[in-house]
Amino acid sequence: MKITEEYTHYNVDFIEIKSVRYIGDFAVRIYFSDGVNKLVDFRPFLESSLHPSIRKYLDESRFKEYQIIDGNLNWNDYDMIFPIEDLYQGRI
């Protein structure tokens, strides 16, 4: 019996965040490189967290200081960052 292994190369598109617009009340609209955009509400996540390093972002002025770095949405030099797959699905 001869055992062989097939190698199949799948072409996976690389999705990144191109821009973000603050809507208000801790919600942002995220625009992705493939043209998709999603509204993501961060308030439930922030309010349910017990950790002070997350809860500090309930200060709206601090929350609005996000940046796009290497196609990812992050706060304060990776203090808070989320998987791009979750953001793409509109959830965290």
Q: What residue segments make up the domains of the chain, in order of their start?
A: 47-92
Q: Hey, what are 25's tokens?
A: 């009340």
Residue whose entry in the numeric block shows the structure tokens 């997350």: 54
- pLDDT tens column, 2-39: 555 554 433 335 899 999 999 999 999 999 999 999 99
- pLDDT tens column, 32-50: 999 999 999 999 999 999 9
Q: Hey, what are 8's tokens?
A: 């199949």
Amino acid at position 50, single letter: L
Q: How many residues does the chain have?
A: 92
Three-class DSSP labels, 46-74: HHHCCCHHHHHHHCHHHHCCEEEECCEEE
Residue whose entry in the numeric block shows the structure tokens 């959830």: 91
How far apart, in whole angstroms, are the C-alpha atoms of residue 80 and residue 43?
Answer: 14
Q: Does pTM surpass 0.75?
A: yes
**Is 30 strand, coil or helix?**
strand
